[in-house]
Amino acid sequence: MPRFSTIRSIFSLDTLDSRLTANTPRSSSPPKNPTALSLAGTARNGESSRSQKLRKESSPSKWGTPEFWLYIIGVGIAVILMFKTTYDLSKESHPNYPKYEPLLSPGWIPGRKVDNSDEQYAGFRNNIPILGGVLIGHSLLRRGFNVLFSRLFPTPPHNSSYRASHNINRRKYFDIFFAVIFLTALHSLSIIKILVILTANWLISFFHPSSIFVPILTWGFNIGVLFANEYFKGYHFRLILPWLIAGEGAGVGYAMDHFLGGGLLPRWEISFNITVLRLISYNMDHYWAAKRLEEADDVVVGRDEGSVLEVRSLVGRRGEDVERAEDGEMGAEEDSSDDEEAQDARLILEQKKKLLDPANISERDRIDTPASVEDYGFFNYLAYILYSPLYLAGPIITFNDFVHQQRYPQPTTSPTLVTKYALRLLSSILTMEFVLHYLYVVAISKTGHTYDSWSNDTPFQLSMIGYFNLHIIWLKLLIPWRFFRLWALVDHVDPPENMLRCMSNNYSALAFWRAWHRSFNRWIVRYIYIPLGGASRPIVNMVVVFTFVALWHDLSFKLLAWGWLVVLFVIPELVCRKVFPKRRFEGRERTYRYLSGLGAVGNVLMMMGANLVGFAIGVEGVRDLIRGVLGSWEGFGFVVLACTALFMAAQIMFEVREGEKRVGIDLRC
């Protein structure tokens, strides 16, 4: 059935992000250099030893057993009831409909209005045609610029050592040129303020990049920028210029503030938070690269014109810590059993692999291997910080990885894979349209506290308002992230995928954050969690991490409460993992699976509560929701049934992950 096979491939992990399947036989991404693979400890067929181990240790499939047929039927009935109940709340005949109807807009599905009341997603949804035009225009301009640049500066042959330098020069000049036009259209003359902040940050690491003051000043400066942007509301010219220009400063400033109508997004400081992450990434990568060069015990294996290739025990071990934390989770125990001889041997093999084929090194190597000294220049910095496809929302890519991809375009950006990814994005947009046209939970929740639009609703109905609100939050973040990643893929840059799992396919609080805004999680691990000590102080580090995450999202009590709730709700999972380790249940795997299912139920309830506080209805809204659900015996009975359904769903989630292990994949989320 070729048609069914094509549909399956569109929704495969390989289409979502080829990093997830790169070391498995199932990967459809172009093969890497086989010699390089064997040096890295990978089998000749492209499968890593870790993938082989996962397949060997996986359990037999349980899908055909009576137990799992019961789970599938039970969860299927629950899902049908969930949709029907929420749809009934969204009918014109419902008594509460007039209370939230003013927030609805005309829809394109006959007979249905659309709940376009979420301002954040409405801003994206209403501008999809414009964004699509910008994507196409950017691609066409890139092609035209490449032709012109190649005529002025002929492209070296593929085997030339100058080919990579030609690539990065050609790309960075266009990236800066387009970014100036793009940011002027978005923010008008506020681009001047952005360039001032960018220049100040670049100067921190310019004069003495290996100084310990670089990370201190970098973090202090960028956190200060976050607070200052919020406090001064973007630094209006009419307030700044009177201090700089005598007489007509306020008038000139007012004219500058309203030039081109202030741009499509006058409040540039709202989207600048994502830029702050790139500012920190550049300075920290520059600092670590400079420290490498100063290390007395460095052993330089080789140097190509694209990157410094060296073996260094200190930074090498740090890279392993990052990999363990990213592949594992915050709070996981670190394995320190490898002796230094084995580590050094592995590092030497990795460096040989890079020398053999620098274009096909792994993402881990692209991130950990510093760029050459000249790559930390101002033009590369601007091209990275202001890279248009990822400027507004990411995904986040480190400076080292970005520069390497500028030199060596990745095979994962082939037209076939990009087309499949685009079709997957289209399916997500259509899913969101279906939800917004048939389930008006955003409008209900917005009017619930003020107009009592959920009065007389049953506990089941109240819980569905909260549940589908979370699903819409998931979709409204997933769709823009995938659109901007698609734009980057079309432009031959491959950033990491931000959303790996459906929101409802998560049972672990720790794993949830690795699948939700994944590139941000990896950024946090690299630049905060590991430098603070990693798993040696899990609770303290998580408090710091989630406090930063909350303040980075928005300087509000609601999100600060969310950050602390997340840490509080993670603690029971950490404790249970210590008290009930999997190795103690060898031979009693079913008992362990049932205990894990009970823990998963608690995790899901706590995660829903925390995210409703942070991203939907706030502390008061959640309090009213809980009071409505638990305020009667009917509510208590519903909670028991809901927990039963969650337990069955958790068992299905466990088996989904076991199925991935059977083909050598472990997403660890």
pLDDT band at 176 (very low <50, low <70, confident <90, very high): very high
The span from the CA of 669 to the CA of 17, in Å, is 15
Domain ranges across the chain: 2-57, 127-295+373-410
pLDDT grade, residue 40 (50/70/90)?
very low
Tell me, what's the pLDDT at 38?
Answer: 38
- Closest alpha carbon to 138 in 498, 486, 393: 486
Q: Whole-angstrom Cα distance, residue 384 to residue 402?
A: 7
Residues in CB range of 133: below 8 A, 6 or more apart: none
Active site residue 553: yes
Averaged confidence pLDDT in the chain: 84
Give pLDDT, residue 313: 37
Decide which of 350 and 34 is more confident: 350
Tell me: pLDDT of 475 over 70: yes
Tell me what pLDDT residue 247 has: 58
CA distances from 418 to 15, 27, 425, 432 (A): 8, 15, 10, 21
pTM assigned to the model: 0.88
pLDDT of the residue at 315: 41
User: Coil, helix or strand for 106?
Assistant: strand
Confidence of residue 337 (pLDDT cuts 50, 70, 90): very low
What band does 170 get if pLDDT is binned at 50, 70 and 90? very high
Residue 600: its pLDDT value, please?
Answer: 93
What is the predicted pLDDT for the residue at 407? 92
Most confident of 9-13, 251-255, 538-542: 9-13
Q: Label each residue of 301-321 as H, E or C.
A: EEECCCEEEEECHHHHHHHHH
Query: What is the DSSP code string of 226-256?
Result: HHHHHHTTTT-HHHHHHHHSTTTHHHHHHHH
**Residue 152 has what pLDDT?**
92
Write down the pLDDT at residue 87: 97
Mean predicted confidence (pLDDT) in 308-322 = 42
Question: What percent of the chain is predicted at pLDDT more than 70?
Answer: 82
**CB contact at 8 A, 391 and 182:** yes
pLDDT-derived band at 342 (thresholds 50, 70, 90) equals low
Give the whole-angstrom CA distance, residue 344 versus residue 99: 67
Dist CA 202 CA 221 (whole Å): 11
pLDDT at 308: 38
Mean pLDDT comparison of 346-350, 593-597, 623-627, 630-634, highest-scoring range: 593-597
The more confidently predicted of residues 634 and 392 is 392
Q: Which residue has the higher pLDDT, 132 or 328?
A: 132
What pLDDT, on a 0 to 100 scale, did the predictor assign at position 269? 93
Q: Which of the pair, 594 or 241, is modelled with greater confidence?
A: 594
Mean pLDDT for the stretch of residues 290-312: 54
pLDDT at position 302 over 50? no
pLDDT attached to residue 24: 67
